Structure 1
């Protein structure tokens, strides 16, 4: 005896719209079937978008410019700014550099080259109050990192850093500064080296500030030797 067949179970699942599954999906029908106000506003926004961009540009054109007009207007630097180096002098004109080469040893970039030489009192070739002086002094600004370690290593305060920062050049060789470029200019009352030390003064007297300027004997020595050099030339 055959069993009666059961009726097929009816499916209770229904198809869902892809719009209901994905809330970000757009309806297939747009345009005339959509909201007319939204379509009009989107059209106007697309139309005036370039105009709004130019509006920002025009409004910025009339604002005060914050850019510094360099090199016409140079901004002053701080007092302790690390700029170009300078070899200083004593009040009578003698050089403070004694050719110890400690600055070259302290430089981490190997940018300083110094050659020392002995002062000769017999021939009148005295450039510093010490036993030696810096005969050759060069700083390669292609290597210098302006760390000021050479300033800390100098025992006579001969090397300092100025506020001069315009060092750009179109020739690499011109960025190697020599002694005549680094040496401080002759101030009023100083005498150009070489010339003898102040009579009765020692090297330590110079660094203690006991020498305030050249003496008449030094001025006389410089006049005599400068006339001899001019006549020899």
Structure 2
């Protein structure tokens, strides 16, 4: 009998009375749910963010047009799968074509490199000077690829 009495003899020292109205109960439940959700989902999300922070950039080169070399053949415009290239041309006095407007919409471009491959006068080349700065680490590899494709151009 004495052991039973000791179990029930504990007294809360700093116990505060929690209000039992419906608004207070739902507020405490919502706070608990938000805390549990954030504590279980935030660390994995931050871990994923940190893992991408230290990876190499995915994009290597971006198209760059040399408008003065363009002969307005519109092969790059025709071969672009994203339809990101717009060319407007007019005829010169000597009968050749001249480019009046050459535009690559970078929001549509998928950086596939087809435009560079299609251009017969190398008026469009891919450079790594836009958007991502990954230095010249791929320069030798790109030069080797261009040299290997030289016979097929």
Using structure 1 for the length normalisation, give the TM-score.
Answer: 0.30
Q: Which has the larger radius of gyration?
A: 1
* Structure with higher strand content: 2
* Structure with higher helix content: 2
